[in-house]
Amino acid sequence: MTVVLNDPSWWPKINSNVFYSYWILAAGVVVVYDWALTLGQEIELIWTHRWSLMTVLYLIIRYIGIPYSVVYMLAFAPYISLTDAVGNNMYYAINGTNVVVTAMLGVIMIARLYTMYERSRMILIILVFIFLAVNIACGVVTAIALKYTILEELIISGTYICDLGYEGNVWLLNSLNWMLYTVWEVLALCLSVWIAVKHFRDLRRLGPSRTRSTIGDCFRVLIKSHVLFFAGFVCVSCLELAILSPELATLTPGLVNSTSMGTQILVGVLPIFLGVQMFVLGPRLILSIREYHAKLVANSDAETSMTSIVFQERVHVSTSSTV
């Protein structure tokens, strides 16, 4: 139900809502800017190569980020009127996209770890089991949290505010979500670091050679991109857990409407870090390894072929083949 108010006491919340809309706009600009920045690499490394599961995941994650940013901006735009039904549908779409994209990023991590562990069936089974348990649990928790989340449009002094109201301990459910995701990300990072250290030790013990150097460089690229992605996740997770803490949740049931400058900054920075973690660092997990193998092929001699660890699967790479 739309509520119309003209009480001057609401003006600080109007300013908070306008302030938050600027952060959301900045988050959308970052996503679009990175897409434009990597478009050349995308055409060269994605569109011109044969399609695979990783290609599909890359395109979905990359191109769902732009409409996601637009919907996010419209949902909280202070000068665009939305009915309660439309606002709630947008809010459901935003949260549903978060769950789906996070699951896709998990599939990418499983493929990387499966390759790094030399296609071990045991590690694949363990990863798939934990991945399904975490994502099914997070999906159920998100659905329950959305059931008890109420979005109501307020028209205050000519501006529109989507006021988020929570019934029950929704903050606890949302915190549980991020705790489960954190367990998955920490596990993936530990497995990556463990196998990388093991390979580097084995390569050092065997001595220098061209093939061993190539494998070592590939593992460095994998670890570098993984650590960068994990750092982005840590930033988002810390912000989410800080905002969803009982103290802040009690003081600011609508979060967006908080008049505290500290809370406004925390809430405002979150969509930027979230967009970067999902729609910038996520696709770059694939681009980084594709770019490495493109350089590997370009630098190889015309008559020399080599065996290379690739992102999707092990293939025989020569100067005439494609990755």
Strands 306-308 and 149-156: unpaired
CA distances from 56 to 61, 132, 292 (A): 9, 20, 20
Domains belonging to the chain, first-starting first, are 3-317 (1.20.1070)
85 touches 71 (CB < 8 A): no
Which residues neighbour 297 within 8 Å (Cβ) at sequence distance 6 or greater?
317, 318, 319, 321, 323
Rg (CA), the chain: 23
Per residue of the chain (323 residues), what is the pLDDT tens digit?
Answer: 455 555 666 666 777 778 888 899 999 999 999 999 999 999 999 998 888 999 999 999 999 999 999 988 888 777 777 776 777 788 888 889 999 999 999 999 999 999 888 889 999 999 999 999 999 999 998 888 888 777 766 676 667 666 666 665 677 777 888 889 999 999 999 999 898 888 778 777 766 555 556 666 777 888 888 889 999 999 888 888 777 665 555 434 344 445 567 777 888 888 899 999 999 999 999 998 888 888 877 776 433 443 444 444 444 433 333 33
Neighbours of 264 (CB within 10 A): 21
- Of the candidates 148, 233, 255, 228, the one whose C-alpha atom is nearest the C-alpha of residue 183 is 233
- Of the candidates 267, 317, 269, the one whose C-alpha atom is nearest the C-alpha of residue 292 is 317
240 touches 273 (CB < 8 A): no
Number of residues written out for the chain: 323
181 touches 199 (CB < 8 A): no
| Bridge partners (DSSP) listed for residue 210 | none
Mind spelling out the 3-state secondary structure of 15-69? HHHHHHHHHHHHHHHHHHHHHHHCHHHHHHHHHCCCCCHHHHHHHHHHHHHHHHH
Which residues neighbour 162 within 8 Å (Cβ) at sequence distance 6 or greater?
75, 76, 82, 87, 91, 151, 152, 153, 154, 256
**Residues 248, 321: Cα–Cα separation, whole Å:** 56
Strands 3-5 and 149-156: parallel
Among all chains, which residue has been given the structure tokens 């992102």? 311
DSSP string, 251-298: H-TTSTT---HHHHHHHHHHHHHHHHHHHTHHHHHHHHHHHHHHHHHH
